[in-house]
């Protein structure tokens, strides 16, 4: 089969571009992964570049593996080894480069990678050793501060401190750096910053890679931060062609440092003449795409595109208004039951929400209805406590001076080493300027004996380092006492199964990576596996098991698609979020988030909202989301009367007492509960209760709750 078969005209144009800088605006569901992988395969198969001359950057290990798999199927064996291609995430590629040039980077050969929880533990240990008030300088906030500086490319000396509080954080950042250097560990932001600095200062090395990588391809370009973009610019030499694929309408990670401006900067700085729009959508029906286009066009600073499909208009978008979040959840449950009866798989139904706090009412209703569900993006495999413990023991096999791993497992399972003993050991290590493990001989008495026994355990584990990786993991699990501990725990069976799965993960890693041990020395097997585990931590790993509904935040849903999608909680202040409403940039990102949510649906889309919602223990009265007003009404099918619409005196709210003894009514002066209204003084509001058809209580948002007499209020329906 020809590589180019089945490509539409813009896809074909993108794949076969001459070797020049190009920006591909790839809309949701437009086949961007196919375009990116086919571009690489076409370049290699037409002998324009060898696999070794390609640098391809993605944002997740899952995406990188998918691209590798597709390329392996596309390219004949004689075209070269796809596994040898520099294809991976920013962090993975930087790790690879730093491993190859560890001396030039000022790192030990077997440096370890701290994932987010290990980094937090290291910061906590630092604050404790320095006797810093962790209420004034919370460890998590200090970690965020350090990472933000690194992602901005700033070392401590370059950080401006305008007050004593910030100066202290900068000082702690400097001490943290020294601690990591001594321990031979790097955190995630350090991987990229250290690699960037290496290339920036080492001109011969930079020229080597610039001459090697003649084609630089970047996926999800809209999600790059400033340092990632600067790293790419260093690698894209004068003779290189950068092929950037992205969608500015799906840039939703500003809170992580993603800079949507990188797309325009790239277009300007690289003098991009090839800007191709992939607008044909292969996922959703026309009504869904028309709604998405109508919403996103309200963002003024777009590069611009318009999604379309040959699949037909499909079903109208269903809209439902409920009285409360509990009513909303019950509506969704009943609708799901009907969908399942129609033959829909539960796994192809997604419930999306803006905030994690919204999931409680949904989960409660699903549990009561006996509907299986999965909260997507929950605790991942490599983040589970028992796995973290096992990996810490394995890291000590590779490097006994790793203080973070040492602190995690020195007394787990319990071996009589208390907090006071650890404090004394930390004092000894600080005095000797050594690792905790190296300071053990200085300890005496009972504490010294207990620590010596732990040091002996680490020695015995290290003596088994010659074993093949899966056998080494088995040995560590048994000798460390982890298996015995969980075997005797009341609810330890699941944890035992996870530990067994770690052995399987090691075996699969050796099989897939092809790096099995061949000698008795501490090989790259263990180090590579530990790096793999750190890089995989936080990846979205789909769970195996029953056909289950998928619950997730909209952020977690990016990159996924489902036959049926419910977007719940479409209320002003919730989605769009109240923190963003007053800012143009904030509203633009919220609108992009709504665009992402809408374009997850293939066949059927539900939009739901509630008049009242329990958040943080308080009842909240809401107005419908402004995004609902941005969808053309002809695309919508209201399952309840629209706000402000008369409907024969019937109310969507259940009858009963409301507020100060007033009955909920739909007929107060021709208005109804939940109706949006305007007032000449207080502006836009929503009616939340009524008294005897004469007075109404209206929530005017920032102008507060007001009781108004209908005879004098001059209210008008919206």
Kindly list the catalytic residues: 32-33, 219-220, 250, 600
479: Cβ contacts below 8 Å, ≥ 6 apart: 457, 460, 461, 464
Using the structure block, give the residue that is written with the tokens 């992009």: 592
**CA dist., res. 457 & res. 435, Å (int):** 17
* DSSP class per residue in 624-646: BPHHHHTS-GGGEEESSPPTT--
Which residues in 560-596 are b (16+ Cβ under 10 Å) and which e?
bbbebbbbbbbbbbbbbbeebeeeeebbbbbbbbbbb
**CA dist., res. 134 & res. 148, Å (int):** 19
With helix as H, strand as E and coil as C, how does 178-208 read?
A: HHHHHHCEEEHHHHHHHHHHHHHHCHHHHHH
715's tokens:
């209210």
**CA dist., res. 717 & res. 686, Å (int):** 10
**CA dist., res. 477 & res. 390, Å (int):** 7
620: Cβ contacts below 8 Å, ≥ 6 apart: 573, 612, 613, 614
**CA dist., res. 553 & res. 556, Å (int):** 5
SS3 (DSSP) at 463: helix
Instruction: Give the Å distances, CA to CA, from 294 to 289, 305, 538, 637.
Output: 8, 11, 34, 16
Q: What is the CA radius of gyration of the chain?
A: 29
SS3 (DSSP) at 30: coil
653's tokens:
């709210």
Report yes or no: 703 and 629 within 8 Å, Cβ to Cβ.
Answer: no
SS3 (DSSP) at 246: strand
400: Cβ contacts below 8 Å, ≥ 6 apart: 406, 435, 437, 458, 462
Which residue in 248, 60, 260, 230 sits closest to 152, CA to CA? 230
What end-to-end distance do the CA atoms of the chain give, in Å?
58
112's tokens:
């370890």
């Amino acid at each position: 089969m020809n590589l180019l078969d089945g490509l539409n005209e813009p896809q074909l144009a993108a794949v076969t571009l001459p070797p020049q800088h190009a920006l591909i605006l790839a809309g949701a569901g437009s086949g961007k992964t196919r375009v990116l992988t086919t571009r690489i395969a076409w370049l290699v198969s037409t002998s324009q570049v060898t696999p070794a001359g390609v640098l391809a950057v993605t944002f997740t290990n899952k995406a990188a593996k998918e691209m590798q798999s597709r390329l392996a199927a596309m390219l004949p064996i004689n075209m070269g080894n796809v596994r040898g291609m520099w294809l991976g995430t920013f962090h993975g590629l930087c790790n690879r480069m730093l491993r190859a040039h560890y001396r030039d980077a000022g790192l030990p050969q077997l440096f370890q990678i701290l994932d987010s929880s290990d980094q937090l533990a290291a910061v906590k240990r630092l604050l404790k050793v320095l006797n810093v008030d962790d209420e004034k300088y919370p460890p998590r906030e200090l970690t965020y501060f350090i990472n933000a500086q690194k992602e901005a490319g700033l070392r401590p000396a370059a950080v401006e401190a305008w007050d004593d509080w910030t100066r202290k954080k900068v000082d702690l950042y400097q001490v943290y750096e020294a601690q990591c250097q001594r321990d031979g560990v790097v955190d995630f932001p350090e991987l990229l910053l250290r690699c960037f600095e290496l290339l920036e200062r080492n001109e011969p090395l930079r020229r080597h890679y610039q001459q090697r990588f003649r084609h630089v391809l970047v996926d999800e370009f809209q999600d790059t931060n400033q340092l990632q973009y600067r790293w790419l610019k260093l690698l894209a030499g004068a003779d290189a062609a950068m092929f950037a694929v992205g969608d500015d309408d799906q840039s939703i990670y500003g809170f992580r440092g993603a800079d949507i401006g990188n797309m325009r900067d790239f277009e300007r700085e690289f003098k991009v003449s090839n800007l191709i729009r992939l607008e044909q959508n292969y996922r959703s029906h026309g009504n869904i795409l028309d709604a998405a286009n109508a919403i996103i066009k309200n963002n003024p600073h777009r590069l611009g595109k318009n999604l379309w499909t040959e699949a037909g208009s499909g079903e109208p978008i269903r809209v439902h208004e409920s009285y409360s979040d509990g009513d909303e959840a019950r509506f969704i449950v009943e609708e799901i039951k009907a969908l399942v009866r129609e033959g829909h798989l539960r796994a192809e139904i997604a419930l999306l929400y803006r905030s994690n706090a919204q999931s409680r009412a949904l989960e409660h209703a699903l549990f009561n209805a006996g509907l299986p569900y999965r909260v997507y993006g929950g605790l991942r495999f490599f983040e589970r406590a028992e796995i973290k413990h096992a990996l810490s023991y394995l890291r000590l096999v590779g490097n006994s001076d790793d203080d973070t791993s040492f602190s995690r497992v020195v007394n787990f399972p319990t071996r009589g080493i208390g907090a006071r003993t650890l404090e004394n050991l930390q004092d000894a290590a600080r005095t000797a300027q050594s690792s905790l493990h190296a300071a053990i001989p200085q300890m005496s008495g009972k504490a010294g004996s207990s620590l010596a026994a732990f040091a002996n355990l680490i020695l015995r584990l290290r003596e088994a380092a010659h074993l093949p990786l899966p056998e080494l993991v088995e040995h560590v699990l048994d000798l460390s006492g982890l298996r015995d501990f969980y075997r005797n725990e009341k609810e330890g069976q699941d944890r035992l199964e996870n530990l067994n799965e770690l052995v399987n993960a090691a075996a699969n890693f050796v099989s897939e990576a092809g790096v099995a041990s061949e000698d008795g020395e501490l090989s790259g097997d263990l180090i590579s596996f530990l790096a793999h585990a750190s890089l995989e931590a936080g990846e979205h790993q789909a769970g195996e098991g029953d056909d289950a509904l998928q619950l997730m935040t909209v952020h977690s849903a990016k990159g996924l698609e489902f036959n049926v999608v419910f977007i719940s909680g479409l209320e002003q202040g919730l989605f769009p979020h109240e923190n963003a409403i007053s800012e143009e940039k904030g509203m633009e990102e919220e609108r992009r988030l709504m665009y992402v949510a809408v374009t997850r649906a293939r066949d059927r889309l539900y939009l739901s909202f509630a008049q009242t919602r329990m958040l943080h223990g308080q009842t909240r009265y809401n107005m419908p989301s402004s995004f609902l007003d941005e969808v053309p009404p002809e695309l919508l099918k209201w399952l309840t009367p629209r706000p402000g619409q008369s409907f024969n005196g019937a109310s969507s709210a259940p009858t009963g007492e409301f507020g100060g003894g007033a009955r909920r009514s739909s007929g107060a002066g021709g208005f109804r509960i939940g109706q949006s209204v305007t007032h000449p003084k207080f502006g836009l509001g929503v009616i939340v209760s009524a008294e005897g058809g004469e007075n109404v209580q209206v929530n005017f948002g920032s102008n507060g709750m007001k009781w108004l007499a209908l005879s004098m209020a001059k209210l008008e329906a919206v």
